[in-house]
């Protein structure tokens, strides 16, 4: 016996033309509020009060943030705004500077530590290169 595995379960069904049920409800609510304000109030006041609600309805229906519905972002923002926040502060004790003797300070600031060591092979390479250059210059002067 074979069972058919459902596919595309994350895609919502389009019920009202190209709109899902949720999109249709958001649009109907936003536009309905705007029309109610237009009927009850003067036009300028209806635009000021109903316009943002209609824009919110459009955003809820169509706008996506990072491929997630706007309602999820709005919910997270409101939860962050109204939930209690826990701030934890841990006091760190300051360490007293240790007493450093004059001898230790001189050893730490000694410039000889930062000078590269001159090994025997480096000295030989340097003297050889100087000898070669001198012999090249002396040969040119003799000719």
Q: What is the pLDDT of residue 99?
A: 64
pLDDT by residue for the chain (143 residues), tens only, comes to: 688 888 877 777 777 778 888 999 999 999 999 999 999 999 899 999 999 999 999 999 999 999 899 999 999 999 999 999 888 888 888 776 666 666 666 666 666 566 666 677 777 777 777 777 655 455 555 55
Of 97, 89, 32, 22, which Cα lies nearest the Cα of 62?
A: 22
Q: What is the pLDDT of residue 118?
A: 65
For 36, other C-beta atoms within 10 Å of its C-beta total 14
Token pair recorded at residue 7: 């596919």
Q: Where are the domains of the chain?
A: 21-81
Q: What is the pLDDT of residue 116?
A: 64
């Amino acid at each position: 016996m074979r069972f058919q595995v459902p596919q595309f379960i994350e895609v919502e069904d389009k019920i009202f033309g190209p709109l899902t049920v949720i999109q249709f409800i958001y649009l109907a609510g936003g536009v309905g509020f705007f029309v109610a304000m237009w009927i009850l109030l003067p036009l300028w006041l209806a635009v000021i009060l109903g316009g943002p609600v209609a824009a919110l309805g459009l955003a809820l229906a169509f706008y996506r943030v990072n491929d997630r519905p706007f309602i999820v972002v709005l919910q997270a923002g409101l939860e962050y705004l109204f939930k209690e926040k826990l701030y934890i502060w841990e006091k760190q004790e300051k360490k007293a500077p240790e007493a450093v003797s004059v001898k230790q300070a001189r050893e730490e600031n000694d410039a000889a530590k930062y000078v590269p060591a001159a090994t025997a092979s480096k000295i030989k390479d340097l003297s050889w290169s100087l000898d070669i250059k001198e012999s090249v210059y002396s040969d040119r002067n003799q000719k």
